[in-house]
Amino acid sequence: MNDPESKAAAARRRRIFLMRHGSVTYFDDGGRPHLPESVPLNETGRMQASAAGVVFARLGLRFDRVVTSGLPRTVETATRVLAETKQPIDIEVWPELEELRGGRLSAITDEMLRDAFVGAFEGVVAEHRRFLGGESIGELLARVLPAIEKLRAQADWETALLVLHGGVNRAIVSYALTGRRYFLGNLSQAPGCINALDVGSEREDWVVRTTNYAPSDPLQPDERDTTMEALYSQYLKFRKAMS
């Protein structure tokens, strides 16, 4: 390992492809919430996951590791990606990479409802800010960032696919962009999107190559609302019907 070529190879950055799971249906037509821990991909989400897999397959990309949070929507997305790449590889489950955990929606007052939905995804978010009255941004960072450092410390991969969640992905991309424990809430993560992050051996050695690339809708020309704004509108129907 003393020749320049070997040193360069040893210092070469590794690639993380960071995906958000495909679209799911969190609320029924009346705005009543489904259990977020168990919702599967909907028809659009299945298409989005397969579209991402087609992109990886077209480029001949192979993964040394495939990591999910274990929630059904991430496992199903990863499974559909691998069906397109035709790569037999075990899908890992890292529960510490689950999405921000909300509290009981019924316990949130009408006055605080909108802020509970969208406040955790606006600007540079303070760590005390809670998501839907549940987990705080600080608590999310406290479990996600050590998991990413754990992955970085493992030497058995060159290219990894992580299929995770909108909030978790924001935490990871924010860390890659700043090298700090920040949460940039305005980083959009469309369902089924791909981020490409290169990471080196030094703590702050990150290069953000691509963010929020959605193969089935690359420029997202019709999108104006965020995911949480849309979910707030859906739930509001149920809240008004129950009042």
Q: Dump pLDDT digits (tens) for 205-230.
A: 999 999 999 999 999 999 999 999 99
| pLDDT for the residue numbered 84 | 98
Average pLDDT score over the chain: 93
Residue 28 lies in a domain: yes
Residue 51 lies in a domain: yes
Single-letter code of the amino acid located at 69: S
Residue 8 lies in a domain: no
The side-by-side arrangement of strands in the sheet containing 14-20 is 91-93, 65-68, 159-164, 14-20, 194-199, 206-213
Q: Dump pLDDT digits (tens) for 71-83.
A: 999 999 999 999 9
Residue 193 in this model has a pLDDT that exceeds 80: yes
- Residue 214's contacts (CB-CB under 8 Å, 6 or more residues apart) are 48, 190, 191, 192, 193, 194, 220
Highest mean pLDDT among 2-6, 67-71, 226-230: 67-71
Residue 170 lies in a domain: no
Q: How wide is the angle at C-alpha 118 spanned by C-alphas 39 and 136, nearest 5°?
A: 80
Q: What is the DSSP-derived secondary structure letter of residue 33?
A: B
Domain region containing 161:
13-105+150-165+188-242
The mean pLDDT value for 222-242 works out to 89
The pTM score is 0.93
Residue 124 lies in a domain: no
At 114, list the tokens. Answer: 């909108």
Residue 116 lies in a domain: no
Residue 113 lies in a domain: no
Q: How wide is the angle at C-alpha 126 spanned by C-alphas 121 and 129, nearest 5°?
A: 70
Residue 71 lies in a domain: yes
Per the structure, how many domains does the chain have? 1
- CATH number of the CATH domain containing 34: 3.40.50.1240
